Structure 1
């Protein structure tokens, strides 16, 4: 018999509804024109009738696509009243077996505590190796820059100093003034009770210039500039700009990493000086309001209360914090995979780890210079 007879489905409702399928129920015939759409509309009517009779004896050709179409219309089970050719019985038997077969359950890998600890340790050493490689490449790039400074990335360096330094003056000034006011207010309450109003200059000078100024600036820069560096490198990874630079022979370290690190090392001490000044201004305002201490007297007593060495310690902290923040931000930016989920996770990790490392470095400074500058 010919196999190109169009598939049809007729409904007779003399006594009980009887659906008669005829023609070639094969993929070529079903997908020709709008036949599959028309048959689907007729089969949707059949799904409502549970006790309908089905006559498939007039189907002259049937493949798995046609059988699956009917099987889905039956709700993936045989109708109670079904007549078909013996040659087509095997296809529906296989569909019954597949439907009854449970879906394979893929067991989730169970990691023991030792395996989890091992994964963490291996991840730590992988980060350490990558960070060491980044630091070594930075040293090579700095040597190349020192040998031929006229060929250095001066435009990138100045642009990064502007973005990381000049554009951060507003937020650091605001936070510095507020911290100075709060610290001065709390200190004045205690010093007034003991008659030590004059010592507010010593307290504010030492705490702001030596500790709070560098820490505040570093935390703000880590959240602002560190995240921006990681996000910028991550987006370049996602958009394959880093691969394009490698193809064109443009080194990542010399054009991307080194200008950012140098810019933050230069900008951080300047931001710390700015933050110290703003915090001391806030402290002077609060001291004048609470203790009646004039700003002129505050400025006159400040050099005697705070030895000059403390200024250099604060600036040294700033350069160190800037170096650490820039390296960590670049490290996580280069490790981002080409997808948006990794970009968000890497940026978050960069900020958190930068702030943590800054606090640890500040503790190390406090231990090393515990007997210096007092």
Structure 2
């Protein structure tokens, strides 16, 4: 008989020791017996027989209600014997019983053992290597996209490039200038006492010129831009990845690298060297002010010594580092943005990684530059 035409579920006592179940024990049919279920009971300590031969239909909801009834009767101390149930109904009832037992089984307190120290190191190493290979792959894709733009200049998007030059370069002038000026003041102040002891006040120009132009100005500028623009790149692309805008661009046949990555890289390659020159000027100016205040070295004397102490090579070394730092910041920021998965928490996590990794790689690149220039006697 079709379940829709079967009679509603029913429970009857054929005797004090036997229950007779009949009708359709389905989600639609068990509504009629809901008031009777709590009233059914049997004397404790007896054997109770349950006849299921007249059950015409049984689904998951009915099997769940029937199994809860049988468990309650067993809990009263009765021995139950269910008979007459169709084989397919019996299998469904057993599956429900197993599922209920699994839900009630308490979880072991130490079901999952914490990883050992060696395993944790191995997993961290594997994750770092996988991310390193992914970064190298991303660099290769950016190089191919850049080569395509060079071969077809019409593909270059000048408006996004100019916008990124303004946001990453011009808008960063105040903070870069202020920190560079203060750094020049600090370097001159720290060196003033030592130079005064030996009567070498004029050599403050050598200290300020070489330290600011070769090392401090390009490094502090790159760190500021990494925290300011690198994080913005990761957050922008990460948000687009979460909202599936990047997938929509690919669907429309627009290459995300051409639109989102290359303009940022080209803009930063232009803006960061200019910011470095600006930082050079402000840093030296701060050192000049402190040299005059602490050591009595006038502006004219400072500039005369500065020109003799600092060669064009030292200046070009500092400016030449800037494009490398710019490429590192832009590539790492965009790379971490594309690796965003999930929701807003992933955007924040990838933004943090972009800043940390870009600053780390900038410092590593600066150290490698120092080793190379020392080997080349520059």
The reply to whether TM is greater than 0.5 is: yes
The reply on whether 1:122 has 2:137 as its aligned counterpart is no
Q: Post-superposition shift, 1:102?
A: 2.5
Deviations 1:138-184 (A, max 9, x none): 22222222222233111111111111111111110111111111111
The reply on whether 1:330 has 2:337 as its aligned counterpart is no
> Structure 1 stretch 330-339 or stretch 307-316: which is displaced more?
330-339
Is there any run of 5+ residues in structure 1 with no aligned partner, and where? 6-24, 40-53, 81-85
Question: In the alignment, which residue of structure 1 is the partner of 2:275?
Answer: 271
Question: In the alignment, which residue of structure 1 is the partner of 2:313?
Answer: 309
Q: Post-superposition shift, 1:237?
A: 0.5
Aligned partner of 1:103 among 101, 106, 116:
106
C-alpha change, 1:147 and 1:118, in structure 2 (3 Å) is same
Instruction: Work out the CA distance in 1 between the residues paired with 2:239 and 2:65.
Output: 48
C-alpha change, 1:99 and 1:176, in structure 2 (3 Å) is closer
The reply on whether 1:132 has 2:136 as its aligned counterpart is yes
The reply on whether 1:240 has 2:244 as its aligned counterpart is yes
Question: In the alignment, which residue of structure 1 is the partner of 2:89?
Answer: none
Instruction: Work out the CA distance in 2 between the residues paired with 1:119 and 1:347.
Output: 22
Tell me the secondary structure at the aligned position of residue 374 of structure 2: coil
The reply on whether 1:211 has 2:215 as its aligned counterpart is yes
On the 8 A contact 1:204/1:283 being kept in 2, the answer is yes
Q: Post-superposition shift, 1:372?
A: 6.0
Instruction: Work out the CA distance in 1 between the residues paired with 2:297 and 2:67.
Output: 91
Aligned partner of 1:163 among 143, 149, 167:
167
On the 8 A contact 1:27/1:66 being kept in 2, the answer is no
Question: In the alignment, which residue of structure 2 is the partner of 1:288?
Answer: 292
On the 8 A contact 2:9/2:30 being kept in 1, the answer is no
Q: Post-superposition shift, 1:325?
A: 1.2
Is there any run of 5+ residues in structure 2 with no aligned partner, and where? 1-6, 11-24, 42-60, 84-92
Deviations 1:38-57 (A, max 9, x none): x9xxxxxxxxxxxxxx8546
Tell me the secondary structure at the aligned position of residue 369 of structure 1: helix
Q: Post-superposition shift, 1:63?
A: 5.7
On the 8 A contact 1:332/1:350 being kept in 2, the answer is yes
On the 8 A contact 2:218/2:322 being kept in 1, the answer is yes
Tell me the secondary structure at the aligned position of residue 273 of structure 1: helix
Question: In the alignment, which residue of structure 1 is the partner of 2:48?
Answer: none
Tell me the secondary structure at the aligned position of residue 350 of structure 2: helix
C-alpha change, 1:201 and 1:339, in structure 2 (3 Å) is same
Question: In the alignment, which residue of structure 2 is the partner of 1:141?
Answer: 145
TM-score by length of structure 2 reads 0.74
Instruction: Work out the CA distance in 2 between the residues paired with 1:361 and 1:133.
Output: 19
Aligned partner of 2:358 among 354, 359, 366:
354
Q: How many residues align?
A: 337
Q: Post-superposition shift, 1:285?
A: 1.3
Question: In the alignment, which residue of structure 2 is the partner of 1:11?
Answer: none
On the 8 A contact 2:223/2:359 being kept in 1, the answer is yes
C-alpha change, 1:120 and 1:289, in structure 2 (3 Å) is same
Question: In the alignment, which residue of structure 2 is the partner of 1:339?
Answer: 343
Instruction: Work out the CA distance in 1 between the residues paired with 2:104 and 2:355.
Output: 50
C-alpha change, 1:254 and 1:109, in structure 2 (3 Å) is farther
C-alpha change, 1:66 and 1:150, in structure 2 (3 Å) is closer
On the 8 A contact 2:164/2:267 being kept in 1, the answer is yes
Aligned partner of 1:262 among 248, 263, 266:
266
